[in-house]
Amino acid sequence: MTKPICQRILLKLSGEALMSEAGGSIDSDILNRLAAEIRELSDFGVQVGLVIGGGNILRGADKASQGLDRVTSDQMGMLATVINALAMQDALEHQGLQARVMSALKINQVCEDYIRRRAVRHLEKGRVVIFAAGTGNPFFTTDSAASLRAIEINAGLMIKATKVKGVYSDDPAKNKEAVFYPHLTYDEALDQRLNVMDTTALVLCRDNDIPMRIMNIFEQGAVMRLMKGEEIGSLIERGNKK
Ligand SMILES: Nc1ncnc2c1ncn2[C@@H]1O[C@H](COP(=O)(O)OP(=O)(O)OP(=O)(O)O)[C@@H](O)[C@H]1O
Ligand SMILES: O=c1ccn([C@@H]2O[C@H](COP(=O)(O)O)[C@@H](O)[C@H]2O)c(=O)[nH]1
């Protein structure tokens, strides 16, 4: 295939997957490998919006369960995503790409504020936009932020690149008998409480009719193959199951 399956994507990368085996929060080899893959996508003509989670540094709910105020914990979590976004911006620039971090929280001495029309303009110019600080609101996750930004930038596809191959009948990290689902509808994912993605994120994409791919972040070159038309991971979409 000489043309990508869609022109603009929102790629959500797991924060936790950036961790090194030794426990460091950001492994530069992993970061550089992902940046190189994004460069290939950009060279192929795909406009890339990125959201990176913060699970390698801090999750608000974990800190709150240890007694910290929930809103403060979530704000710390959102700032963690800014750290990951800045690291990725640097890695992308080393690949020769232009990249812009746009934050939902105002820290404009560090990166741009998120302004939708500017984000779209950056994408049209071939710059990779890294949407940081989630939605800017506590009690949300970066999955929901990714769905929201995918809708706002009119992405043709949302991709969640995570630590598992796709959607299973149960968490494959805990249940070895879990069955892999190559295709399912948003309503099936919601009804079965499949937990690979939070409910808000699924509902946002369902109601705005954006298809979603869940796939393994560690499978090198897989996003490119997907953009060339290969069936990779699990597809969640509205309407009838394929
Ligand atoms: N039914 C399921 N199918 C597939 N994965 C599942 C399912 N239920 C739970 N999971 C778990 O969900 C995880 C992905 O979601 P999670 O929110 O933990 O990660 P992430 O959003 O990719 O990471 P981060 O929060 O660090 O950005 C998988 O690693 C998997 O273990
Ligand atoms: O809109 C948002 C997005 C995220 N948070 C907080 O950040 C952390 C890290 O994000 P993950 O999606 O868990 O990787 C999250 O646990 C929240 O505490 C937020 O408050 N609002």
Domain limits of the chain?
Answer: 8-237
Q: Which of 81, 103, 131 to mutate to test the pocket of ligand 2 (most atoms within 8 A of CB)?
A: 81
The answer, yes or no, to whether residue 241 has pLDDT greater than 90, is no
pLDDT greater than 80 at residue 10? yes
The rounded percent of the chain whose pLDDT value lies above 70 is 98
124 or 239: which carries more pLDDT confidence?
A: 124
Q: In what side-by-side order are the strands of the sheet with 128-132?
A: 112-113, 99-103, 128-132, 47-52, 8-13, 157-162, 212-216, 234-237, 183-185
Q: Which residues are annotated as a binding site for UMP?
A: 54, 74, 135-142
Which spans in 44-175 are helix H? 60-65, 70-94, 116-124, 142-152
Distances (CA, A) of 54 to 47, 99, 141: 23, 19, 9
Specify the ligand 1 atom closest to the Cα of 163.
29
The predicted model scores a pTM of 0.96
Residue 7 near residue 49 (C-beta atoms within 8 A): no
Residue 2: pLDDT band by 50, 70, 90 thresholds? confident
Q: For residue 191, is pLDDT > 80?
A: yes
**Beta pairing class for 180-181 and 167-168:** antiparallel
Whether the pLDDT of residue 113 is over 60: the answer is yes
Find the 92 Cα to ligand 1 centroid distance in Å: 25
Pocket of ligand 1 (CB under 6 A): 14-16, 53, 55, 142-143, 162-164, 167-168, 170-173, 194-196
Alpha carbons 5 and 9: distance in angstroms, whole number = 10
Length of the chain counted residue by residue: 242
Segment 42-62 shows an average pLDDT of 97
221-239 tens-digit pLDDT? 999 999 999 999 999 999 8
**pLDDT, greater one: 23 or 58:** 58
Q: 61 pLDDT exceeds 90? A: yes
Convert the pLDDT of each residue in 73-112 to its tens digit.
Answer: 999 999 999 999 999 999 999 999 999 999 999 999 999 9
Contact yes or no for 207/147 (Cβ under 8 A):
no
Return the amino acid letter for 116. R
Torsion 103-114-110-42 (CA) sign: positive
Kindly report, residue by residue over 16-26, the tens digit of the pLDDT.
999 998 889 99
Average the pLDDT over 39-48 and give the result: 98
Ligand 2 center from residue 145 Cα (angstroms): 9
Q: What does pLDDT average to over the chain? A: 96
Residue 1 confidence (pLDDT): 67
Write down the pLDDT at residue 240: 60
CATH class of 8-237: alpha beta
Taking CB atoms and a 6 Å cutoff, what residues make up the pocket around ligand 2? 15, 53-55, 59-61, 73-74, 77-78, 80-81, 134-135, 137-138, 140-143, 145
